[in-house]
Amino acid sequence: MVMKKLMLAICAFMAAGVMGCSNIKKAPAVSLKLDPQKVEWFKDAKFGMFIHWGLYSILEGTYNGHTMPDTTFAEGNSWYAEWIKPRLEVPDEYYNGLIREFNPVNYDPESWVSEACNAGMKYLVITAKHHEGFALWDSDVSDFDIAATPYQKDLIGPLVAACKKYGLKYGFYYSHWQDWEDPDGALPYWYPWRADEDFEQYWQRKSLPQVKELIQKYDPDLLWFDTWDGNTHITPERRDELIRLVRTYSDKCLINGRICYSNPGENIDFLEMHDNSYPKEMLSKPWQTPATMQNSWAYHSKDFNWKPATRMLRYLVSNTSMGGNYLLNVGPKADGTLPVPAVRRLREMGAWLGANGEAVYGANPSSLKVADEDVYLTEKTAGDEKILYVFLAKPKSTVTIPSVSLKDCFVLETGQGLELSSESGCTEIRIPNGVFKDNSIVVLKAYLQSEPK
Residues forming a β-bridge with 391? 376, 443
How far apart (Å, rounded) are the C-alpha atoms in residues 155 and 136?
Answer: 6
Rounded to the nearest whole angstrom, what is the least distance from the CB of residue 33 to ligand JFZ in the complex? 25
Q: Which of 82, 115, 213, 269 binds ligand JFZ (CB under 6 A)?
A: 82
The reply to whether 228 sits near ligand JFZ by the rule CB under 6 A is: yes
CB atoms within 10 A of CB 305: 11
Of 83 and 299, nearer to ligand JFZ (C-beta) is 83
In order, the DSSP letters of 187-216 are --TTSPPPPHHHHHHHIIIIIHHHHHHHHH
Q: Which of 221, 226, 269, 379 binds ligand JFZ (CB under 6 A)?
A: 226
CB-based closest residue to ligand JFZ: 228
The reply to whether 257 sits near ligand JFZ by the rule CB under 6 A is: no
Rounded to the nearest whole angstrom, what is the least distance from the CB of residue 273 to ligand JFZ in the complex? 10
User: How wide is the angle at C-alpha 42 spanned by C-alphas 37 and 46, nearest 5°?
Assistant: 145
Strand bridging mode 406-411 / 324-330: unpaired
Of 222 and 375, nearer to ligand JFZ (C-beta) is 222
The reply to whether 332 sits near ligand JFZ by the rule CB under 6 A is: no
If 0-12 CB within 10 Å is exposed, 13-18 middle and 19+ buried, where does residue 10 land? Answer: exposed
Choose the binding region for ligand JFZ from 78-86, 202-210, 355-363, 384-392 (rule: CB under 6 A).
Answer: 78-86
Q: Which of 93, 229, 237, 438 binds ligand JFZ (CB under 6 A)?
A: 229
Of 80 and 391, nearer to ligand JFZ (C-beta) is 80
Rounded to the nearest whole angstrom, what is the least distance from the CB of residue 131 to ligand JFZ in the complex? 6
How far apart (Å, rounded) are the C-alpha atoms in residues 279 and 99?
Answer: 39
Q: Which of 47, 63, 79, 80 binds ligand JFZ (CB under 6 A)?
A: 80
> Residues 38, 254: contact at Cβ < 8 Å?
yes
Q: Which of 86, 120, 220, 290 binds ligand JFZ (CB under 6 A)?
A: 290
The reply to whether 218 sits near ligand JFZ by the rule CB under 6 A is: no
How far apart (Å, rounded) are the C-alpha atoms in residues 350 and 166?
Answer: 16
Q: How many helices (H) and strands (E) does the chain have?
A: 12, 18
Choose the binding region for ligand JFZ from 76-84, 86-94, 192-200, 279-287 (rule: CB under 6 A).
Answer: 76-84
Of 120 and 290, nearer to ligand JFZ (C-beta) is 290
> Residues 292, 276: contact at Cβ < 8 Å?
yes
In order, the DSSP letters of 1-22 are -HHHHHHHHHHHHHHHHHH-GG
The reply to whether 275 sits near ligand JFZ by the rule CB under 6 A is: yes
Rounded to the nearest whole angstrom, what is the least distance from the CB of residue 56 to ligand JFZ in the complex? 9
Rounded to the nearest whole angstrom, what is the least distance from the CB of residue 319 to ligand JFZ in the complex? 16
DSSP 435: G
Q: Which of 56, 144, 287, 297 binds ligand JFZ (CB under 6 A)?
A: 297
Binding mask 2-21 for ligand JFZ (x = CB under 6 A): --------------------
Of 287 and 391, nearer to ligand JFZ (C-beta) is 287
Contacts of 80 (CB under 8 A, 6+ apart): 68, 87, 295, 296, 297, 298
SS3 390: strand
Q: How many amino acids of this chain bind ligand JFZ (CB under 6 A)? A: 10
Site residues (vs ligand JFZ, CB under 6 A): 80, 82-83, 226, 228-229, 274-275, 290, 297
